[in-house]
Amino acid sequence: MNRPTFLRSLALTGLFARAILPATTGFALSTILKPRRLQPGDTVGLVNPAGATFQTVDIEIIKESLQALGLQVLPGDHVLDRYGYLAGKDSDRAEDVNRMFADPSVKALLCVRGGWGSNRILPLLDYECIRKNPKIIMGYSDATSLLVALYAECGLVTFHGPVGISTWNSFSTDYVKRILMEGESAILRNPATPGDTLAQTKDRIEVITPGRARGRCVGGNLSVLASMIGSPYLPDWEHHILFLEETDEQIYRVDRMLTQLKLAGILGKLAGVVFGKCTNCGPGEGYGSLTLEEVFRDHIKPLGVPAWSGAMIGHIENKFTIPIGIEVEIDAQQGTIQMLEPAVQ
């Protein structure tokens, strides 16, 4: 079959339309849902989909922080519930999320904290309601489950950023305001201030593979993503930029989880990789350990795609707000993530 005949046959079957578009998720690109931007006076609903919050003062501090941004706060009915290490029963935690999306007075959802438990409520979410009521939802760590699942299931742009009990300092708050409130197509860049030293020692980037790449940004906590493999709540990873972070894991476990992503066929589909901070990820006891640099060299460098580590993503005070689901361009040599479109309407 010659080329014109082949292309006509593709068009007739509907395959050509898909072939000329970047392969990203399992849904059509036209169904990507951008939430409405936050405006002064808007109400933010607090949800606690994972670990329990033991002190009511945490909720008060969250309220005061959001009010300082000109926002109103509505805590979910179950944010202070406790069921063992969980913030209440699965059905109740899911109910708070569903109710906030259904409530027209609520314009955004903020996860109170991480911990463990968001995976447990994924089958209980009302995805049809969420599609009809796209809203900002933000968190990190265990909230990775919610953010990625809502992107994969609904095409909703979600936000990997501070949780309620995070430190709302100027660095983190600046990205929240620029991306969620001002609708800026921001460039995410580590601070470049050596301080009282001749060379920068903090928040440096380490290039794994130089170069630039474009793709839809998706990611979060490495162990949470690894725990979702085999579920229906992950996207098609083709041509995505994957960002990762981790905390309190020995290096062999980071190695094991990256191996799991590789064996699942995820790493080989990516257009680029950004690894943030691996906080308190030491080698542990024993005869010896690989370094994180060696683990990245084993798993990420052979991909041949632009990649670096050290981005301001993770269990740290100064953190980016990263939209999941929008087109970005990364520059591994510069250590930057450039949003190519606004993440909100």
Active site residues: 141, 245, 315
Residues 6+ apart with CB under 8 A from 179: 159, 186, 321, 323, 339, 343, 344
Residue 68 contacts by C-beta under 8 Å, 6 or more apart in sequence? 168
Cβ-contact 59, 45 below 8 angstroms? no
The whole-angstrom separation of Cα 106 and Cα 83 is 26
Check: CB of residue 306 under 8 Å from CB of residue 211: yes
